[in-house]
Amino acid sequence: MINDNIRESAQKAAKDFKASWVDLGRVLYTVYKDKLYKEWGFTDFDAYTSKEIHIRRQTATKLLKSYYFLENKEPKYIESAPSVESVDFLRRASMRKDLDKEDYVDLKKKLFESGKDASEVKKGLTTLIRERQELEPKEAWEQKRIKVIKRLLGTLKSLRTELKTTKVLPSDVLKETEKLINRLESEVS
């Protein structure tokens, strides 16, 4: 009898604990969206969360994004939401281009309905993606190639801007940089 009461108390405490992040995310979202922190004398949201709430920027961002994701994509799970890590993982997975709708539904079931831990589901997803890449090495190589080219493009564009403003190199170098940027852009389009 006493053990049953303790068990029920533990279940209730766990449920309350999981729900508390949703409540905090909801309130933080309102504060952020309505810029209420300015009324309270804070210059920005980060200053408010670090000085008033005493949470790091990364934590506040995770809470905001996870709550917003639940509210907009999975509202039926707001009341019974799993951990913020699980919701954040599903949110990030929903934006992956290498996952389809069936993958998303499978991840959601594992996290929200089966109650699996996000780290466990993440390991399974990593294995699945690796297996797919092994089955389709040409596609995996092409994705990697495009990713590297895009990273190079970003760096070149940043340097181009710096070259234009500082004028530390001759204009013909800037023209060659422009040509290289155009050539690389044609590779990824």
Give the Å distances, CA to CA, from 78 to 81, 131, 179.
Answer: 5, 33, 51
Residue 177 CB contacts under 8 Å (≥ 6 apart), including other chains: 156, 159, 160, 163
pLDDT of res. 185? 93
Whole-angstrom distance, CA of residue 84 vs CA of residue 79: 13
pLDDT of res. 16? 67
pLDDT of res. 141? 80
Taking the CB of residue 6, how many other CB atoms lie within 10 A of it?
10
Whole-angstrom distance, CA of residue 149 vs CA of residue 82: 38
Which of 93, 160, 94 has the alpha carbon at shortest distance from 122? 93
pLDDT of res. 180? 94
Residue carrying structure tokens 């029920």? 8
- Of the chain, the percentage scoring pLDDT greater than 90 comes to 52
> What confidence category does residue 46 fall into, taking pLDDT thresholds of 50, 70 and 90?
very high
Lowest mean pLDDT among 36-45, 101-110, 124-133: 124-133
In this predicted structure, the answer to whether residue 80 has a pLDDT above a threshold of 70 is yes
Whole-angstrom distance, CA of residue 160 vs CA of residue 118: 42
pLDDT of res. 139? 75
In this predicted structure, the answer to whether residue 15 has a pLDDT above a threshold of 70 is no
Q: With the C-alpha atoms ordered 100, 105, 110, 112, is the resulting torsion angle positive or negative?
A: positive
Higher pLDDT, 16 or 184: 184
pLDDT of res. 18? 59
Query: For the whole model, what pTM was predicted?
Result: 0.61
pLDDT of res. 13? 67
Which of 107, 74, 79 has the alpha carbon at shortest distance from 18? 79
pLDDT of res. 135? 61
